């Protein structure tokens, strides 16, 4: 069986370490790097009344181009490891988009962590921590 692996990737050092781990651990897996263009939380209930249920927050061309460049880097790393890598771009709150994507036929999520202390997690929150708590599949956190 081929493992379907989701790797949230933003080009940061922790994300790169997680991608390298996934490439090494699942060389024959079906790997997907997901870049989430961060968009702040909005009052979607009010927006649905205004714009209908399919409202999608606007994302600039510049943000999409940046995401594509970051994912090109991920594809290059995969090529250097002689692995194939699919890429996807989403927009929204990163932890929510990662969990939503994990619900779509993924076997495992491999995510990087900045390794912040508990005090900074309380102040800043942690995408990796929220994904671990909410994902419907196993999550490997790499530091």
Query: Tens digit of pLDDT for each residue in 52-95?
Result: 555 556 788 999 999 999 999 999 999 999 999 999 999 999 99
Residue 124 burial (C-beta neighbours within 10 Å; 0-12, 13-18, 19+): exposed
pTM: 0.84
DSSP-H helix ranges across the chain: 13-25, 44-51, 61-80, 94-102, 118-124, 127-134
Query: 139-142 and 108-112: which strand pairing?
Result: parallel
Question: Mean pLDDT across the stretch 12-37?
Answer: 97
In 69-100, which positions are buried (b, 16+ CB within 10 angstroms) versus exposed (e)?
ebbeebeebbeeeebebebebbbbbbbbbbbe
Measured from the Cβ of residue 128, the count of other Cβ atoms closer than 10 Å reads 25
More confident residue, 46 or 29: 29
CATH architecture of the domain 4-142 equals 3-Layer(aba) Sandwich (3.40)
In this prediction, residue 114 carries a pLDDT of 78
Say what the pLDDT of residue 124 is.
42
Q: Among 1-5, 22-26, 87-91, where is mean pLDDT lowest?
A: 1-5
Average of per-residue pLDDT values in the chain: 87
- If you average pLDDT over residues 101-117, what whole number do you get? 89
């Amino acid at each position: 069986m081929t493992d379907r692996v989701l790797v949230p990737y933003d080009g940061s050092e922790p994300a790169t370490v997680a991608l390298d781990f996934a490439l090494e651990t699942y060389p024959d897996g079906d790997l997907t790097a997901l870049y989430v263009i961060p968009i702040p939380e909005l009052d979607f209930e009010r927006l649905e009344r205004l714009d209908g249920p399919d409202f999608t927050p606007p994302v600039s061309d510049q943000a999409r181009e940046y995401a594509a460049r970051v994912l090109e880097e991920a594809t290059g790393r995969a090529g250097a490891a002689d692995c194939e890598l699919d890429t996807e771009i989403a927009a929204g709150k990163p932890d929510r988009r990662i969990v939503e994507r994990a619900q779509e036929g993924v076997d495992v999520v491999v995510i990087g962590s900045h390794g912040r202390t508990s005090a900074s997690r309380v102040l800043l929150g942690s995408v990796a921590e929220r994904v671990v708590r909410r994902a419907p599949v196993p999550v490997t956190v790499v530091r």
